[in-house]
Amino acid sequence: MRILVINGPNLNMLGRREPEIYGRETLDDLIALIRDHAAKKGIEVSFYQSNHEGDLVDAIQGALGTADGIVINPGAYTHTSIALLDAVKAAGIPAVEVHISDVTKREKFRQTSYIRQACVATIMGKGFAGYTEAVDLLAAYGDGK
Ligand code: DQA
């Protein structure tokens, strides 16, 4: 099982970005957490972060043949990007949408998610733990559970 974890814009700023919402831990801390978790389960994980929509499209397309599942936090592109939705559909790889915060309890403009309709699940409001839950979910999904 190989899982690609994709983080979108501003998630490289974790730790300093609105800590009251996203916490004080950094992207490196997040990566270490997922890496440890996946290693215990024998799951291979790789990571990608970009602030650029087209680069994220390229990363999703690039998962074809190299990953069996995608965990994606598209950041603000969640709420705007049909291109990311189309990329997940085109890749045809099971994907889980993750948000650190509970976007349902936030601004109106965060209530739309384009990518959601191409994802097998959405996990939000669980902080960094949402990512490890997404990894587990994809592993179970891969096992046909
Ligand atoms: C986010 C929520 C988005 O609305 C926001 O634009 C982000 C992070 C989250 O993880 O809670 O960048 O995806």
pLDDT score recorded for residue 143: 79
**Domains contained in the chain, CATH given:** 2-143 (3.40.50.9100)
Q: Confirm if 118 and 85 have CB atoms less than 8 A apart.
A: yes
Q: Ligand 1 centre from 101 Cα, in Å?
A: 7
pLDDT score recorded for residue 142: 79
Q: Ligand 1 centre from 136 Cα, in Å?
A: 21
Is residue 42 classed as helix, strand or coil in its secondary structure? Answer: coil
Q: Which of 62, 128, 122 is nearest to 93 (CA)?
A: 62
Please work out whether the CB of residue 78 comes within 6 Å of at least one atom of ligand 1.
Answer: yes
Please work out whether the CB of residue 100 comes within 6 Å of at least one atom of ligand 1.
Answer: yes
Q: Please list the active-site residues.
A: 22, 99
Q: Confirm if 30 and 96 have CB atoms less than 8 A apart.
A: no
Q: Above 60 in pLDDT, residue 110?
A: yes
Q: 73: part of which helix (H) or strand (E)? A: strand 69-73
Please give the DSSP secondary-structure letter assigned to residue 19.
H
Q: Above 90 in pLDDT, residue 103?
A: yes
CA–CA distance, 49 with 119 (Å, rounded to integer): 19
Instruction: Give the model confidence (pLDDT) of 48-73 as tens digits.
Output: 999 999 999 999 999 999 999 999 99
Q: Above 70 in pLDDT, residue 145?
A: no
